[in-house]
Amino acid sequence: MSSHATDQARVIPLRPVAAAAAPAPDAAASPPAGAGEPREPLWRHLVGDVLRRERLAQERTLKDVAEAARISMPYLSELERGRKEASSEVLAAAARALGLGLADLLALSHGELTRLGRTHTRQARIGQERPGMGRGGSGSYEARLLAA
pLDDT over 70 at 55, yes or no: yes
pLDDT bucket at 34, cuts 50 / 70 / 90:
very low
If we measure between CA atoms, which residue out of 57, 50, 56, 79 comes closest to residue 89? 79
Looking at residue 18, what DSSP letter applies? H
Q: What are phi and psi of 9, to 5 degrees?
A: -110, 145
Exposed/middle/buried for residue 120 (C-beta within 10 Å: 0-12, 13-18, 19+): middle
- With beta carbons less than 8 A apart as the criterion, state whether 133 and 139 touch: yes
Average model confidence (pLDDT) across the chain: 75
- Measured CA to CA in angstroms, residue 136 lies from 32, 41, 128, 140 at distances of 30, 31, 12, 5
pLDDT, tens digit, for every residue of 119-139? 666 665 666 544 444 444 444
pLDDT, tens digit, for every residue of 66-92? 999 999 999 999 999 999 999 999 999
pTM beyond 0.85, yes or no: no
Q: Of 55 and 13, which is predicted with more confidence?
A: 55
pLDDT over 80 at 4, yes or no: no
